Amino acid sequence: MTSKGHVVVAMSGGVDSSVAAALLQRQGYQVSGMMLRLWSEPGREMSNRCCTPEAMGIARRVAGQIGIPFYAVNAQDTFRDTVVEYFLDGYAQGGTPNPCLACNRHIRWEFLLNRALALGADFMATGHYVRLVREENQPVRLYEAVDQHKDQSYVLHVLEQAQLQHALFPLGDLTKDEVRAIAAELDLPAAQSKESQDLCFLAGQDYRDFLDRYSPQAGSPGPILDRTGRQMGQHDGLAHYTIGQRKGLGIAAPEPLYVLEKDIARNALIIGTRAELGRDTLVTGPVIWQSCQAPSAPFAAQVKIRYSARKAAATVTPLPDGSSEVAFDEPQRDITPGQAAVFYNLEGEVLGGGLIQGEAAPAPAARESLIQIAV
């Protein structure tokens, strides 16, 4: 059978990347496996979720079992300087960063992709649950996965055409149960591997303990204030809280209180009632547009503001500096600087996205010239 091309699979020792490699080989690709050695806090190397010696051993066994070459690549310094620093800086600046966005953009789809291409690969594949649509002489389009519970399009909105042209995601049309069934059918060592939602470099520890060791300034105590400026208590450090948080404030009040925002200038945590929590606008940083140029006019979209959030109807207004304003049809509780706002059309295609910078000023005129994107 003629090979469809050489693809390097980013392997982790988990069931998803293992099945991805097996499926691509079955489909007629020349497959190689590649696994990154990522940074771990000294003394916690055995607990890093992504690249423990056990995970590396499983990935090697899977590669041997299906008969593909396997490479280990040291990315510890790059990961530390890029992803861990992004995490620390984000909290120091009062945000709630999502380091998976930085990892996917700079580690998997820059550092690792470049090494795959240097090996002569045509494609790189991962075990992410997303779908791609390829049409001749058209941009590659990124869609949500069939399995909505596993969909990872939110964290892959950071990919541009330069990466999407070389990307393969063989699990996008499968459910997690189907993937596990394939792993069991092939008797892969990773068939029953457990999943974790923890950040890999935290090695199971509380992120606040990690911040206290590596970014102590982010844990400086300060006042808890209401919207009027009245002091309601004392916080343990702004990094210990996130927008929308209710528990752990240590304040007795007639009705539940929530974190509304973080005031870096005053090192103050601003709290209020549930009615005060909702916001209907936000502004992003520079937007990555997946398969189109930045639209020239406001458009209607479905927008996710966190990985686990539901999409909400909104109007997106591209701005001249490459950023965007988003006006939601209904107020959203958890608009959080440092997370991403990702734009979808009604068919589940990712249109673009950018990091949330904060609340935007209302722009009523934007609603008067809506266009529907058909890209």
Catalytic residue list contains 51: no
Q: Could you say which of 50, 51, 100, 200 is catalytic?
A: 200
Q: Tell me how many degrees the CA angle 296-302-304 measures, rounded to the nearest 5.
A: 110
- SS3 label, residue 273: coil
Q: For the chain, give the percent of residues with pLDDT over 90.
A: 73
Alpha-carbon gap, residue 44 to 117, rounded angstroms: 32
Q: Which tokens is 174 given?
A: 């499968």
- Element housing 25 (H / E): helix 15-26
Which region among 34-43, 76-85, 156-165 has the lowest average model confidence (pLDDT)? 34-43
Alpha-carbon gap, residue 87 to 102, rounded angstroms: 9
Residue 204 has pLDDT above 80, yes or no: no
Residue 305 has pLDDT above 70, yes or no: yes
pLDDT of 233 reads: 94
Q: Which of 77, 29, 38, 32 is nearest to 56 (CA)?
A: 38
Q: Which ranges in 103-169 belong to alpha helices (H)?
A: 113-118, 161-164
All structural domains of the chain, each given as residue ranges with its CATH number in brackets, are 6-190 (3.40.50.620), 220-276 (2.30.30.280), 278-374 (2.40.30.10)
pLDDT tens digits along 88-111: 999 988 899 999 999 999 999 999
Alpha-carbon gap, residue 180 to 170, rounded angstroms: 14
Q: Could you say which of 50, 51, 100, 103 is catalytic?
A: 103
pLDDT tens digits along 213-256: 888 877 789 999 999 999 999 999 999 999 999 998 999 899 99
Alpha-carbon gap, residue 290 to 156, rounded angstroms: 10
Q: What is the mean pLDDT of residues 46-69?
A: 86
Alpha-carbon gap, residue 171 to 351, rounded angstroms: 21
137 Cβ neighbours under 8 A, 6+ residues apart: none
Which region among 101-105, 172-176, 195-199, 211-215 has the lowest average model confidence (pLDDT)? 195-199
pLDDT of 358 reads: 87
Catalytic residue list contains 292: no
